[in-house]
Amino acid sequence: MASDGRPGPITDLDSEPFWAALRRGAVVVQVCDECGRHRFGRIGACPYCGAPGGSDVEISGTGTIYSFVRAHRALTDTMAGDVPYAVATVDLDGGARMFGRIEPPGAARIGARVSPLFVDHGDWTELRFRAGDATDDDA
Ligand SMILES: [Zn+2]
């Protein structure tokens, strides 16, 4: 399938499992075989206990917004129709933290619960997060 013109990831041996999982609608992080902590992205040893290696594990992709920014100026012409959009740091349930766009952008709030949203760009899949459900505390 052709790309929609958006710049996609440049994968390598460490990031390929993450991107391949997104293509099938799954979120994969790395788990330490010794201490059990999750981490993202994949690296050769645990940053918490130092154990070498690790295993890929599929997670729910749900989490909580730690912080976010709202962009009002597009980085590229391809994204001109997207502004304003929100990019958040998400603390994933079970551990690990990653960045992703929040949909809808106006729902981005610190502490908001999010779930994964898989956006197909033709030849790659982007992980965004959907914010706002009945359990959110927007106070
Ligand atoms: Zn560890």
User: In tens digits, what is the pLDDT along the chain, a chain of 139 residues?
Assistant: 456 777 889 999 999 999 999 999 999 999 999 999 999 999 999 999 999 999 999 999 999 999 999 999 988 888 899 999 999 999 999 999 999 999 999 999 999 999 999 999 999 999 999 997 644 444 3
* Residue 41 alpha carbon to ligand 1 centre in Å: 14
* CB-proximal residues (5 Å) to ion ligand 1: 32, 34-35, 46, 48-49, 51
> Residue 31: CB partners within 8 Å, gap ≥ 6?
37, 38, 39, 54, 55, 56, 57
Dist. CA 11 → ligand 1 center (Å): 25
Q: How far is the CA of 34 from the centre of ligand 1 (A)?
A: 5
Backbone angles phi, psi at 19, to 5 degrees: -70, -35
Q: Which two tokens stand for residue 116?
A: 């994964």
pTM, 2 dp: 0.89
